[in-house]
């Protein structure tokens, strides 16, 4: 290893939900001294020189190197804090996402609920949902999508999670958005029927979501046909 | 046997290869940006390729328990097409990324003035970004190419010990070693270098600063050549420590010069849902 590693990491899934101040406190408590000093300086720089400057802003450089400075397990949290300190607007977030590594793109997705009040960043979420990178899919299905994604793409996001093995726990606000969604129930029922016809097991998560819809589709599968848990994330729709 | 393949073009390989590589002991790879067989005609197609090297390909590798890093550059062949040259202006933003561990592969193909400029420009970029450089030697006119390569490296801001000269063979190894560079050998079926010749070179010139790679790509090549060299080294009397030096510690030391090596696949790629993404890597 050539940079700090903390096997525990800062919970990535929490970065979109935890208030920024709290995220800062938690991250700071976990970082070794050198990484903490680096982060403090990066946040100061970002706050002093926000916005886009030239081909690459100073805070964009810090965003790029956050993984090797803070360790992979803390990079998501560090990047969300840097984006917040730089007061990144939609243009800045879009540039960072488009020019980013998969890790930087994931951090942008986590940062959206903190930085973009309206639905303008939905195209970034839709871009991530078009990928088959399960890390991006899970981040794209977060609170920002729950708040702003239209019903049709949101249902496809849920279905894609099931297809690619991303646990539906990654889908923010799943219970509220699923409730009474007869179209989602139909899609889940059809998917279950397709799997059953192929002699393949139905993901347990499918039954969870189906139950949340509170709707029984015509093709509703029998719960006892689902003998196993969620398949592993693998990035291939199967 | 733990293996670090320091030069392999995984974009051109299948998941079967990843599985076989893991089974053979490969735990880390570096994928240098290179020519895709079909010449590109615009910077945009380079950018999509570079984005895959810092996005999709590390994800794919992690599924098979293999840590993936890359090197970024305009390759020598396409440096000759003026339509591609503007990609040089885009390189700096890639050279700051995590997991970009060198500038490469650069070097000579036909030894043209355009290639001179591209090599010199990119050696300077490596120096500016605190990165080492992966410099290949040309397939044709190799010894003259090596000498010209060493000259341009000597004239650059990059110290010799931050440069890996690749695709070496019997005729070029001595001059390369005397220069103080790291020494790369691409073991191919039939062509550049084979296992027996590789082991003979190791016996004659030692294991210090030597890296062995498969350079496997879209052409006839074998992603398990690194393992085959390790097996033959053992059969020919080298120790397990010798094998570990050549197939693991030397590539870790060279690419570690970047300060960006992260060989912990679990920490990098399983941050969301535990480590279930490492299916096949467990």
Q: What pLDDT digit, counting tens, does each position of B198-252 carry?
A: 999 999 999 999 999 999 999 999 999 999 999 999 999 999 999 999 999 999 9
CA dist B79 and B224 (Å) reads 30
Of A99, A131, A135, nearest to B272 by CB-CB distance is A135
User: Nearest C-alpha of chain B: how many angstroms from A101?
Assistant: 5
Q: What is the pLDDT along chain A (238 residues), one digit of tens a residue?
A: 344 444 446 655 567 778 899 999 999 999 999 999 999 999 999 999 998 888 899 999 999 999 999 999 999 999 999 999 999 999 999 999 999 999 999 999 999 999 999 999 999 999 999 999 999 999 999 999 999 999 999 999 999 999 999 999 999 999 999 999 999 999 999 999 999 999 999 999 999 999 999 987 766 666 544 444 444 556 677 6
- Is B68 in contact with B31 (CB distance < 8 Å)? yes
Same domain? For A74 and A17 the reply is: yes
**Degrees, nearest 5: CA angle B217-B223-B227:** 150
Same domain? For A21 and A71 the reply is: yes
Q: Is the dihedral of CA A193, A194, A200, A204 positive or negative?
A: negative
Work out how many domains chain B is built from and give that number.
Answer: 1
ipTM: 0.89
Q: Is A5 on the interface with B (CB under 8 A)?
A: yes
- Choose the final residue of a domain: A116, A150, A171: A116
Q: Is B220 part of a structural domain of the chain?
A: yes
Of A65, A133, A169, nearest to B96 by CB-CB distance is A65
Work out how many domains chain A is built from and give that number.
Answer: 2
Same domain? For A82 and A21 the reply is: yes
Q: Strand order of the sheet with strand B100-107?
A: B3-5, B26-32, B67-72, B100-107, B133-136, B163-166, B182-186, B210-213
Q: Is A134 part of a structural domain of the chain?
A: no
Hey, are the CB atoms on A65 and B98 less than 8 Å from each other? Answer: yes
Q: Is B182 helix (H, G, I), strand (E, B) or coil?
A: strand
Consecutive H or E run containing B29: strand B26-32
CA dist B226 and A213 (Å) reads 53
- Is B137 in contact with B149 (CB distance < 8 Å)? yes
Share of chain B above pLDDT 70, in %: 94
Hey, are the CB atoms on A133 and B260 less than 8 Å from each other? Answer: no
Hey, are the CB atoms on A234 and B256 less than 8 Å from each other? Answer: no
pLDDT band at B275 (very low <50, low <70, confident <90, very high): very low
Same domain? For A58 and A6 the reply is: yes
Q: State residue B191's pLDDT score.
A: 76
Same domain? For A102 and A186 the reply is: no
Q: State residue A6's pLDDT score.
A: 45
Give the residue from B122, B94, B244, B262 showing the smallest Cα distance to A72: B262
Do β-strands B133-136 and B163-166 pair in parallel, antiparallel, or remain unpaired? Answer: parallel
Q: Is A121 part of a structural domain of the chain?
A: no
CA dist A25 and B94 (Å) reads 31
Q: Is B199 part of a structural domain of the chain?
A: yes
What's B249's DSSP letter? I
CB-based contacts of B88-95 (< 8 A; 24+ apart in sequence): B88/B118, B88/B121, B88/B122, B90/B43, B90/B46, B90/B47, B90/B50, B91/B122, B91/B125, B92/A55, B92/A56, B92/B125, B92/B128, B92/B129, B93/A55, B93/A56, B93/A64, B93/A99, B94/B50, B94/B54, B95/B125, B95/B126, B95/B129, B95/B131
Of B92, B259, B269, nearest to A3 by CB-CB distance is B259
Same domain? For A159 and A231 the reply is: yes
Q: Is A132 part of a structural domain of the chain?
A: no
What's B246's DSSP letter? I
Q: Is A128 on the interface with B (CB under 8 A)?
A: no
Hey, are the CB atoms on B262 and A66 less than 8 Å from each other? Answer: no
Q: Which residue, chain included where needed, has tokens 């005397």?
A: B178
Same domain? For A101 and A195 the reply is: no
CA dist A223 and A226 (Å) reads 6
Same domain? For A93 and A28 the reply is: yes
Q: Is B224 part of a structural domain of the chain?
A: yes
Chain A residues with CB under 8 Å of B259 CB are 2-3, 68
Q: State residue A15's pLDDT score.
A: 72
Q: Is B137 part of a structural domain of the chain?
A: yes
Q: State residue B74's pLDDT score.
A: 97
Q: What is the mean pLDDT of residues B47-76?
A: 97
CATH at residue B213: 3.20.20.140
Q: Is A123 part of a structural domain of the chain?
A: no
Tokens at A62, concatenated: 């810090």
Chain B residues with CB under 8 Å of A133 CB are 55-56, 59
Enclosing domain of residue A28: 1-116
Q: Is B281 part of a structural domain of the chain?
A: no
- Is B30 in contact with B7 (CB distance < 8 Å)? yes
Q: What is the pLDDT of residues B136-168, one digit of tens each?
A: 999 899 999 999 999 999 999 999 999 999 999
- A134, A165, A167, A168, best to mutate vs chain B, most B CBs in 10 Å: A134
Q: State residue A237's pLDDT score.
A: 72
Q: Is A36 part of a structural domain of the chain?
A: yes
Give the residue from B151, B247, B135, B157 showing the smallest Cα distance to B199: B247
Q: State residue B272's pLDDT score.
A: 33
Same domain? For A111 and A158 the reply is: no
User: Nearest C-alpha of chain A: how many angstroms from B34?
Assistant: 19
What residue of B is the nearest CA neighbor of A169?
B273
Q: Is A236 part of a structural domain of the chain?
A: yes
Enclosing domain of residue B52: 3-276
CA dist B150 and B175 (Å) reads 9
Q: Is A167 part of a structural domain of the chain?
A: yes
Q: How far is CA B127 from CA B92, B131, B253, in A?
A: 12, 6, 18
Same domain? For A92 and A172 the reply is: no
Same domain? For A157 and A106 the reply is: no
Q: Is B217 helix (H, G, I), strand (E, B) or coil?
A: coil
CB neighbours of B210 closer than 8 A, spacing ≥ 6? B182, B183, B185, B202, B246, B250
Q: Is B282 part of a structural domain of the chain?
A: no
Hey, are the CB atoms on B267 and A72 less than 8 Å from each other? Answer: yes
Q: Is the dihedral of CA A178, A124, A131, B25 positive or negative?
A: negative
Q: Is A15 helix (H, G, I), strand (E, B) or coil?
A: coil
Q: State residue A215's pLDDT score.
A: 84
């Amino acid at each position: 290893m050539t940079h700090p590693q903390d096997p525990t990491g800062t919970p990535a899934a929490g970065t979109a939900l935890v208030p920024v101040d709290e995220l800062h406190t938690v991250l700071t408590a976990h970082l070794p001294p050198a990484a903490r000093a680096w982060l403090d300086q990066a946040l100061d720089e970002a706050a002093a020189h926000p916005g886009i400057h030239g081909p690459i802003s100073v805070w964009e450089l810090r965003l790029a190197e956050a993984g090797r400075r803070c360790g992979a397990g803390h990079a998501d949290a560090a990047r969300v804090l840097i984006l917040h300190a730089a007061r990144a607007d939609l243009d800045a977030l879009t540039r960072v996402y488009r020019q980013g590594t998969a890790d930087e793109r994931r951090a942008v997705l986590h940062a959206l609920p903190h930085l973009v009040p309206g639905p303008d960043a939905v195209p970034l979420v839709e871009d991530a949902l078009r990928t088959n990178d399960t890390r991006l899919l899970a981040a794209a299905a977060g609170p920002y999508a729950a708040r702003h994604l239209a019903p049709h793409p949101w249902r496809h996001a849920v279905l894609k999670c099931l297809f690619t093995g991303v646990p539906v726990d990654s889908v923010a606000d799943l219970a509220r958005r699923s409730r009474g969604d007869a179209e989602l129930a139909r899609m889940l029922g059809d998917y279950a029927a397709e799997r059953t016809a192929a002699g393949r097991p139905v993901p347990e998560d499918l039954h969870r979501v189906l139950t949340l819809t509170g709707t029984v589709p015509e093709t509703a599968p029998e719960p006892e046909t689902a003998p196993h848990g969620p398949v592993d994330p693998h990035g291939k729709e199967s | 046997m733990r293996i670090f393949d320091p030069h392999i073009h995984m974009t051109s390989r299948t998941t079967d290869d990843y599985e076989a590589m893991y089974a053979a002991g490969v735990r880390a790879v570096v994928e240098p940006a290179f020519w895709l067989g079909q010449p590109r005609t615009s910077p945009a197609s380079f950018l999509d390729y570079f984005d895959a090297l810092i996005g999709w390909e590390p994800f794919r590798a992690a599924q098979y328990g293999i840590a993936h890093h890359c090197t970024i550059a305009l390759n020598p062949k396409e440096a000759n097409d003026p339509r591609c040259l503007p990609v040089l202006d885009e390189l700096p933003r890639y050279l700051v990324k995590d997991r970009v561990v060198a500038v490469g592969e650069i070097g000579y193909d036909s030894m043209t003035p355009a290639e001179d400029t591209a090599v010199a420009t990119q050696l300077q970029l490596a120096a500016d970004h605190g990165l080492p450089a992966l410099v290949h030697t040309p397939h044709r006119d190799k010894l003259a190419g090596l000498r010209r390569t060493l000259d341009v490296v000597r004239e650059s801001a990059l110290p010799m010990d931050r440069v890996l000269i690749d695709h070496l063979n019997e005729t070029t190894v001595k001059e390369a070693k005397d220069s103080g560079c790291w020494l790369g050998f691409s073991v191919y079926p039939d062509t550049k270098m084979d296992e027996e010749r590789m082991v003979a070179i190791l016996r004659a010139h030692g294991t210090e600063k030597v890296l062995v790679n498969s350079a496997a790509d879209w052409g006839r090549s074998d992603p398990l050549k690194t393992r085959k060299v390790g097996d033959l080294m053992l059969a020919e009397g080298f120790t397990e420590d010798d094998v570990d030096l050549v197939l693991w510690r030397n590539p870790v030391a060279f690419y570690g010069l970047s300060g960006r090596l992260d060989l912990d696949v679990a920490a990098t790629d399983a941050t969301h849902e535990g480590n279930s993404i490492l299916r096949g890597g467990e």
